[in-house]
Chain A
């Protein structure tokens, strides 16, 4: 369990203060994959670095697996007093939190074996034990045959696998992933994501994943927080956020991951669609996991004598289920259209007239 409450972090610069985290409160459950999405500069990197104290916050509290790593209180003089875990305790706490990075950050002059062994060395662990643990880890990430290779001999995806093995060396309960797939090609991205999913299932690993790509959030996360200018503007189950985005930025992200992003472009260029006349409406329907299988459209034209033509359609497959989106033009007599839209609302289909 990771608990972050009222976290604040400000960077001071000549041009003014930059809020990297503003009153952030989050709790991440054991064994879930939690996504944090935002544009660059939204503060998500800072937030995730606060979890293992690579960045020290200004105020707030951070608790990981029952251990308070950072706490602050306001003293009598109105100044913030912070207490941070330091030295040996901090090192120990960090060993319980693995982290992987966008650029892998492997040691170029060490072999794959030595890279994975890095966190195990100088901790009083016997050589044979290190060796067997590293072998086990490389097996887990599917790189047993690359033991003696150097990072420069590996592809991006393989490098990230080595980094994952290294991050898991001390059997952490939490893995922080900072844009871990942003530097990879689509194939490697997919394979790393499925590896993370597998590790989440197999080891019960809690994964906190930062990204700016909604498609990643969509494929693997259970819950998500959307960040903008240091603030969490929206959070919840990924499915809910996806099917009913509230904040503008969330809508933008959701659209970016589906074919519906083309809608605006289409409206702009297509006179026919833009000029919604009488007896014709442009509607957007959202089918959630309960209604996605129903034959709503054909039912509609049969029952209400309206014509429905599909402009755009998209199905998203999320961790928690399927989500359908449909933009269509509905033609017919005014009262038929009204009745049809009424019917749609009853069928637990989200209706929006554009």
Chain B
């Protein structure tokens, strides 16, 4: 097991100035250059732009060589931890292995150099690929159509809610409210509000799930939809999901599923079979496209039959002769959600992954992801408080209740994990758990890595009792230690400024 790091020795071991890398602007030196273009081979005209249209030089832009740039970004990269280096157990984020084949194939020149406004007959390969990924997602979701336009989970949510609005408006009443459980991701209420709805929050029960009778009370002619995460943010499956769908459908409302947690049940159960009307899938979660420090992602949305007319345009269609085309002819469509064709090259990566896994592989993802999460749950339960004891699937949510008597809180435990070489879990979410530690290991982790993580968590729990100050002042071994976040927000410095001297 990783040795316990003493605060004193840690600071002593890091010489002043180590792990620091100046801003690229601070590396700039007049006359340095990082590029070369061929000499201009056409006659130069000096009359193209009037002086008012022409800019002065870009003040303070950098002058650096390629060596400077490569060193700079390589040094910056070393200040990050990543899934390639080890377990990254962020709950709700599904930080799984990102196969390099996906990267290689996305760089195939025929994909990478294709242009979004080319005529359909010039991009048959791209259109066929889009068609195939839609077919595959249709089968995974158990739904008749899927739009590939949304480029992130929240973008998918907005797409879905706009479709619900349009469908309801067409039948005479767009309605006012979207119901959302209090355990939901923040994007859910934000997307609902963005689409023009008011949000009503529903309280979770003691299992952390939604009570049918509570739902029944709230669903009336003013409710457009329920947005629910399956399994929910505690990793608990909503056992009564089909009855929920029935309650909503009886009143003409829709069931929207936030598919952030699809990794828990891909290949095991299908949203369409649960009565779900819409689901988005974050391809950067379940289907392994890299998170890239916060994107790009993709958030395709699957829909039930009655929502098909409202899908964003264009859709990808296949003719009888086997050729493909982009189809804008959907009079009831909500319109386009973005210029061009979504995050195409994220879709290439995701389809590569789906093919690498195949039907058995996709099912095995869910099985091992759930096994891994339950293994962590079994090893840490008792030492860490489990506020909701219901059986959980791909993630497990503990709290700091057993540690707070020692005045050690979730934030401290998270920071201390960094000293043991692990990225912390998601913390303080879901909001229904005070001091939440939300752990999602994914199927990518071998048993040894899970054991090392659990050993670290158990060691930290002991430290909380024996040397709480060590935990409270963590991390000690990271490139920087705890930051003054209040200062960052009180006097925001949001860009580099040259010194005035």
Asked if A and B are interacting partners, one says: no
State the A residues within 8 Å of B (CB). Answer: none
